[in-house]
Amino acid sequence: MTNINANARNLQPVFHPAACYESPASVLTDSELSTPEKRIILSSWASDMYAVESCPALREVPGMSHTIRLADILAALRELDGDNDNDDPPRGGGVPMRLRRPWAAVQGRAA
């Protein structure tokens, strides 16, 4: 019969990858991980669940001894996608949908 506790210990790095990786760069350079596995780890780190309350540009991942910059995580994800142009910040969602002059929309309806 298999020892269940031994199996649980072997799975811990999967559930807590910060126990094995210190930075987004260390995830990218791990040759034993597939691209989808790297994406899963980095995406989980980018989650708002780990955002530092007073500084949302930082992530505090359990098991890690330091905070990680969200910009570094997003840069690593872009590298996985083959987008090496890391100078541009990620586009904001929905920004083009916002009205620059909300009063113009109101005037347009009245006309």
Cα separation, 5 vs 32, in Å, equals 24
What's the one-letter identity of residue 47? S
What is the residue extent of each domain of the chain? 4-86
List of residues 6+ apart from 84 with CB closer than 8 A: 78
**pLDDT at residue 16 in the model:** 59
Ordered per-residue pLDDT tens for the chain, 111 residues: 444 444 444 434 445 566 688 899 999 999 999 999 999 999 999 988 889 989 999 999 888 889 999 999 999 999 998 866 545 555 555 545 555 555 555 565 554
Give the H or E element holding residue 9.
helix 4-15
**pLDDT at residue 28 in the model:** 94
Distance of CA 65 to CAs 24, 41, 61, 84, Å? 14, 17, 9, 28
